[in-house]
Amino acid sequence: NAGVMQNPRHLVRRRGQEARLRCSPMKGHSHVYWYRQLPEEGLKFMVYLQKENIIDESGMPKERFSAEFPKEGPSILRIQQVVRGDSAAYFCASSPGGGSSYNEQFFGPGTRLTVL
Amino acid sequence: GDSVTQMEGPVTLSEEAFLTINCTYTATGYPSLFWYVQYPGEGLQLLLKATKADDKGSNKGFEATYRKETTSFHLEKGSVQVSDSAVYFCALSGFSSGSARQLTFGSGTQLTVLP
């Protein structure tokens, strides 16, 4: 039973390029979360998605960042025109969803983005 | 909004020493509380959790008790091993922003255990 998959594991971009990060949730999970970890800091929530819906994007920067979780395929976090400050580890987590008030989130190994 | 304050690191201990990592939180309502562990180059793994006041979460010799009166969830282990060296994150899950169940994390505590 594969866990949460993220690719690429490492991504290097030059300033102004686009970065595209992918996340495949665990089998049977319909909820995806993206978090960003800046150097020497904890993880910060970015966005919460269900299939074809953005539920909460309160942690997303207003410009250049977007996320989707299509009916088929992985969730994508897209960063346009990257800047050096976007260098960070980006983690995806998934949960099964459902009616419980608590749903454990399972984390992927992360994508480490370096902007030159 | 919700927040988690975690003991500053790094923490260095000798093998078999007692470990405490302090964690306090601010949240509305009744959040669920978690400790996650991150080994070098890897993602976060859930270590233990507690979903209501006075619950004790435990796993692999680690324990933490949900104390509503002191808004704390301190992590403890009686005898640490070299293999426990990692970064430990305290986190909470509330219901801010409508139905979202986002996790709010502390800044992490780096633990190094020396043989």
Are B37 and B86 in contact, with CB atoms under 8 Å apart?
Answer: yes
Task: Look at residue B54 and tell me whether its pLDDT is greater than 90.
Answer: yes
Q: Compute the nearest-CA separation of A97 from chain B (Å).
A: 10
Q: What is the 3-state secondary structure (H, E, C) of chain B?
A: CCEEEECCCCEEEECCCCEEECEEEECCCCCEEEEEEECCCCCEEEEEEECCCCCEEEECCEEEECECCCCECCEEECCCCHHHCEEEEEEEECCCCCCCCCEEECCCEEEEEEC
pLDDT of residue B102: 83
Give the chain B residue nearest A55 (alpha carbons).
Answer: B100
pLDDT of residue B97: 43
Task: Look at residue B7 and tell me whether its pLDDT is greater than 50.
Answer: yes
Task: Look at residue A99 and tell me whether its pLDDT is greater than 70.
Answer: no
Mean pLDDT of chain B: 90
* Interatomic CA distance for residues B75 and B82, integer angstroms: 17
How many interchain CB pairs under 8 A, A with B? Answer: 65
pLDDT of residue A8: 97
Q: Residue B104: CB partners within 8 Å, gap ≥ 6?
A: A45, B1, B2, B3, B4, B27, B91, B92, B93, B94
| Percentage of chain B lying above the pLDDT 90 cut | 73
**A47-90 tens-digit pLDDT:** 999 988 999 999 999 999 999 999 999 999 999 999 999 999 99
Question: In terms of pLDDT, which residue wins out, A22 or A103?
Answer: A22
Task: Look at residue A98 and tell me whether its pLDDT is greater than 60.
Answer: no
The answer to whether the CB atoms of B89 and A109 lie below 8 A apart is no
Average pLDDT, integer, range A87-108: 81
Task: Look at residue A100 and tell me whether its pLDDT is greater than 70.
Answer: no
Give the chain B residue nearest A4 (alpha carbons).
Answer: B43
Q: Output the CA torsion sign for B9, B33, A92, A24.
A: positive
Are A6 and A92 in contact, with CB atoms under 8 Å apart?
Answer: yes
pLDDT of residue B98: 44
